[in-house]
C-alpha cells in the first residue's frame, strides 16, 4: 500500500497548504464509525467502501450537497422483544462526509456482503490549446 502526497509529485507545486488541510481534517475527525477505505480503481475512477454490516439498503442514504458527498445510516427499530446478553455489533446512526474535487462525480453505489461501495469518476475536460500573441514592448493594445 502506497501513500501519495502532493509534495512528492513534481508537477503539483504549491499544493502543500491543501495537503496540510487534508491531513488536519483527517486527524480532527474523532469518530471512526463506520470504518472506510478509499481506493483508486483507475486513473480517473475511485471507490469509497464503508463497512455497514447490519444496515439494509433502505437504512442508508447517499446525497451530494454542495460538492460534498454525504452518506447517512439509520437502522430501524426492529428489536422489540429481543434480549441481548452481549451487544457487540454497532447499531447506531452515522454520517460520513467526503469533499468532492471539481470534476469528480458520483457514478453509482451498491452494497454487498455488509459493504457499501460508492463509485466516483473524474470527468476529464477536453484539452484546450491557446496561442498567446507576443507583442513588442513599444506597442500597446
pLDDT digits (tens, 9 = 90+) for 19-75: 766 665 565 455 678 899 999 999 889 999 999 988 889 999 999 988 889 999 998
| Together in a domain, 63 and 83 | yes
The pLDDT tens digits for 109-140 are 999 999 999 999 998 888 888 899 998 887 66
For residue 24, what are the domain limits?
A: 1-30
Same domain, residue pair 90 and 73: yes
3-16: pLDDT as tens digits? 666 566 666 666 66
Angle at 107 between CA 104 and CA 111, to 5 degrees: 125
Helix (H) or strand (E) holding 64: strand 60-64
Contact 54, 34 (CB under 8 A): no
Domain assignment present for residue 131? The answer is no
Amino acid at each position: 500500500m502506497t501513500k501519495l502526497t502532493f509534495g512528492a509529485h513534481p508537477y503539483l507545486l504549491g499544493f502543500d497548504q491543501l495537503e496540510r488541510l487534508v491531513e488536519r481534517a483527517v486527524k480532527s475527525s474523532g469518530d471512526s464509525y463506520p470504518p472506510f477505505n478509499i481506493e483508486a480503481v483507475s486513473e480517473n475512477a475511485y471507490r469509497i467502501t464503508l463497512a455497514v454490516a447490519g444496515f439494509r439498503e433502505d437504512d442508508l442514504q447517499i446525497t451530494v450537497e454542495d460538492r460534498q458527498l454525504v452518506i447517512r445510516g439509520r437502522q430501524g427499530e426492529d428489536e422489540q422483544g429481543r434480549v441481548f446478553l452481549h451487544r457487540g455489533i454497532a447499531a447506531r446512526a452515522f454520517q460520513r462526509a467526503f469533499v468532492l474535487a471539481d470534476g469528480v462525480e458520483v457514478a453509482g453505489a451498491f452494497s454487498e456482503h455488509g459493504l457499501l461501495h460508492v463509485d466516483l469518476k473524474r470527468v476529464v475536460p477536453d484539452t484546450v490549446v491557446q496561442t498567446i500573441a507576443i507583442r513588442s514592448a513599444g506597442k500597446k493594445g
